[in-house]
């Protein structure tokens, strides 16, 4: 589904991502773990085309997307929930969800092939996944709690009909009860689509991961299937 090979990125003269390799299997969940400041969000911004990469390869569904625009990547099936959620605060909950539906409805040609993905998630599906949104359709998104905004952001991304869902620290600043709801939703989505999840909390990551990649100071220091990597080893790596 997704393969990143030898990706390098700089901020000025600072080499922030060093020969990063990462893959997400079709229908699987890869968790990218690391402390704050190791380059996790930078990697996702490169993956979505929000930052141009200095070198390396990014392949999505067998196509080289390293130089595609963010819009083309989204329309090809890459759904992105950024750190901080970035809902549209002056739009209502319903209008935010409509943005996702509009993106899916455009279905332009990407590269030389038509985008023939079929819709998999409807507005009703999102409401069933996140019932708290059911009665909030006319509320401004900026007036929601952090946890409610996170659920809205994930729902909006699902309505773009992604084949790859990219989540940047969805548990950050969220109350435990909503973290559990988000965990259950991610678990339910596995197999329906591929998931790349950035996290720094090992317990949450272990509950959903099929594959781990650990990033330290911009470098991948460990990667493997979840059953092959002991949590004690992962904790020791991300404490460096």
Evaluate whether 91 touches 152 at the Cβ level (below 8 Å): no
- What strand order describes the sheet that includes 14-24? 14-24, 2-11, 55-60, 63-64
pLDDT tens digits, one per residue of 205-222: 888 999 999 999 999 998
Q: 37 or 21: whose pLDDT is higher?
A: 21
Spell out the domains of the chain, with CATH numbers in brackets: 2-238 (3.40.50.300)
Q: Round to whole Å and give the CA distance between 149 and 206.
A: 24
* pLDDT tens for each residue of 89-102: 999 999 999 999 88
Amino acid 104: pLDDT: 80
Percent of the chain with pLDDT over 70: 92
Separation CA 222–CA 33 (nearest Å): 10
Alpha carbons 236 and 240: distance in angstroms, whole number? 7
Q: What is the rounded average pLDDT of the residues 134-154?
A: 93
């Amino acid at each position: 589904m997704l393969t990143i090979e030898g990706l390098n990125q700089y901020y000025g003269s600072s080499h922030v991502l060093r020969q990063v390799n990462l893959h997400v299997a079709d229908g699987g969940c890869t968790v990218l773990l690391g402390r704050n400041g190791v380059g996790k969000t930078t990697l996702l911004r490169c993956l979505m085309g929000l930052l141009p990469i200095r070198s390396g390869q990014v392949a999505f569904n067998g196509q080289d997307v390293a130089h595609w625009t963010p819009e083309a990547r989204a329309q090809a099936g890459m759904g992105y929930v950024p750190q901080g959620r970035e809902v549209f605060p002056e739009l209502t909950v319903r209008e935010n969800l409509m943005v996702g539906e509009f993106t899916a409805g455009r279905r332009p040609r990407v590269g030389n092939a038509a985008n023939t993905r079929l819709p998999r998630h409807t507005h009703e599906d999102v409401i069933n996944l996140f019932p708290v949104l059911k009665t909030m359709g006319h509320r401004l998104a900026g007036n929601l709690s952090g946890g409610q905004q996170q659920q809205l952001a994930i729902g909006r991304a699902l309505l773009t009909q992604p084949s790859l869902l990219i989540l940047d620290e969805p548990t950050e600043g969220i109350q435990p009860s909503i973290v559990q709801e988000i965990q259950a939703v991610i678990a339910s989505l596995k197999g329906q689509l591929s998931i790349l999840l950035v996290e720094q909390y090992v317990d949450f990551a272990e509950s959903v991961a099929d594959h781990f990649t650990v990033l330290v100071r911009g470098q991948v220091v460990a990667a493997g299937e979840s059953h092959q990597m002991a949590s004690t080893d992962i904790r020791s790596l991300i404490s460096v």
